[in-house]
Structure 1
Amino acid sequence: MMELADVAWPPEPIRTARLVLREPETRDRAVFVELLASPRVHTYLGGPGDRGELEQRLPEVPERWRGSFVAELDGTMIGHILLRRVPEHGRPAAAGKADLGYLFLPRVWGSGYAAEACAAALDWFESVRPGEPVVLTTQSANTASMRLAAKLGFTEVERFVAWDAEQWLGMRAPAAGRGHVRTVSA
């Protein structure tokens, strides 16, 4: 997904004040199914997947590729962070750039875990791809995601309509061009 062939993968687990970001493992499969089948998680993502189909379709270790991190709290997966390259045929303002995506279990919403995990993943990305901007797309109706994007330093590039809803595309400048969020790495 991401051109990180020259980057050691998986990286050492990334530790923040409360979380560990690590490579997905077999033990995370049930939480991936829960995330992907959740109507609440997928309110702004086109709707949930069918739990039965997900159970059959997902590999033993889902989402295992470069740029894919499990967010773990007290030894248990609570979310997923994904940094992937936007295809060259994507939105012109985002094409070829790194894209930040994230999903967290509803029971942990409002606790700041998504901000903490995303900031740590962005810091990691900055360390392996210094100077590269990152984009994030969300529905403009998703106020929580819009707040998180602002907190992480994303600024609006454009709005457009896709999937019958207004989408917001933001970009985060490299660390040299903005205030830097510090995380603690292992």
Structure 2
Amino acid sequence: MGLPLTVADWPPAPIRTERLLLRPPEARDRPAFVDLGCDPVVNRFTGGGRERATLEREMPAVPADRPGQLVVEHEGRLVGWFGVSRHDPARPGRVLPDGGELELSWVTPVAAWGHGWATEAGRAVLAWVDARFDEPVVVCTQVANTASRRLAARLGFTEAGRFEEHGALQWFGVRHPGTP
């Protein structure tokens, strides 16, 4: 199993693409993270949006403040979040004998859909992961979430399995280092 991600594992400077800035989360991102967490459309495949008052009370001052988490900005506006963490080996799905693969996650607001920003951001994150780590990356999403499965395919993920989790059939994909 891979070791947990640490601050030393993650880029010290933001990642820039042609149209985007990917940077660590800051306190100013909190309102956008609350909005993302409340949105029932964005969270359709993760149990629905949560109550705003609950999120306001529970969310830390700097949301997603841990190694491997990046806010995606376009022209100074938050258009998504990408995270890389270790897939919990106790959960279903694995490609390494002991599990603990790197796992890519993302969330984008509805207003950001259809612009190609998630593909651009995902490719940038995976290019950095390929340069830093020599190991597969996995992704898990509901089979019913066709938009996330299409994004995973654009990012080079192929199906490695399906399983039941959280009351729904899950799609488990893998991308090996150097996949275009």
TM-score, with length taken from structure 1: 0.89
Cα shift at 1:18: 0.7
Q: For residue 7 of structure 1, give the secondary structure of its aligned residue in structure 2.
A: helix
Alpha-carbon deviations, 1:82-125, whole Å to 9, x = none?
10101221224253001100000101101111111111111111
Find the counterpart in structure 2 of residue 52 from structure 1. Answer: 53
Contact 1:19–1:74 at 8 Å: present in 2 too?
A: yes
Contact 1:31–1:78 at 8 Å: present in 2 too?
A: no
Find the counterpart in structure 1 of residue 34 from structure 2. Answer: 33
Supply the AA of the counterpart residue of 2:61. Answer: E
Structure 1 residues 24, 121: closer, same or farther in 2, change over 3 A? Answer: same
Find the counterpart in structure 2 of residue 65 from structure 1. Answer: 66
After TM superposition, the structure 1 = structure 2 runs for residues 97-108 of structure 1, keeping only pairs within 5 Å, are 97-108=101-112
Contact 2:5–2:85 at 8 Å: present in 1 too?
A: no
Identity %: 43
Task: Tell me which of 119, 126, 131 is aligned to 2:123.
Answer: 119
Alpha-carbon deviations, 1:24-57, whole Å to 9, x = none?
0111000000111110110011111111010111
Greater alpha carbon shift after TM alignment, 62-71 vs 72-81: 72-81
The alignment's C-alpha RMSD in Å is 1.5
Task: Tell me which of 90, 95, 100 is aligned to 1:96.
Answer: 100
Supply the AA of the counterpart residue of 1:50. Answer: E
Contact 1:154–1:171 at 8 Å: present in 2 too?
A: yes
Q: For residue 66 of structure 2, give the secondary structure of its aligned residue in structure 1.
A: coil
Find the counterpart in structure 2 of residue 43 from structure 1. Answer: 44
Contact 2:5–2:86 at 8 Å: present in 1 too?
A: no
Distance (whole Å) between structure 2 residues aligned to residue 123 and residue 132 of structure 1: 12
Contact 1:19–1:71 at 8 Å: present in 2 too?
A: yes
Find the counterpart in structure 1 of residue 80 from structure 2. Answer: 79
Find the counterpart in structure 2 of residue 168 from structure 1. Answer: 171
Supply the AA of the counterpart residue of 2:42. Answer: V
Q: Post-superposition, which runs of at least 4 consecutive aligned residues in structure 1 deviate over 4 A?
A: none
Residue 128 (1) aligns with residue 132 (2)? yes
TM-score, with length taken from structure 2: 0.92
Q: For residue 149 of structure 2, give the secondary structure of its aligned residue in structure 1.
A: helix
Structure 1 residues 9, 152: closer, same or farther in 2, change over 3 A? Answer: closer
Distance (whole Å) between structure 1 residues aligned to residue 158 and residue 141 of structure 2: 12
Find the counterpart in structure 2 of residue 149 from structure 1. Answer: 152
Contact 1:10–1:66 at 8 Å: present in 2 too?
A: no
Q: For residue 132 of structure 1, give the secondary structure of its aligned residue in structure 2.
A: coil
Residue 20 (1) aligns with residue 21 (2)? yes
Distance (whole Å) between structure 1 residues aligned to residue 44 and residue 130 of structure 2: 30
Q: Unmatched 5+ residue regions in structure 1?
A: 181-186
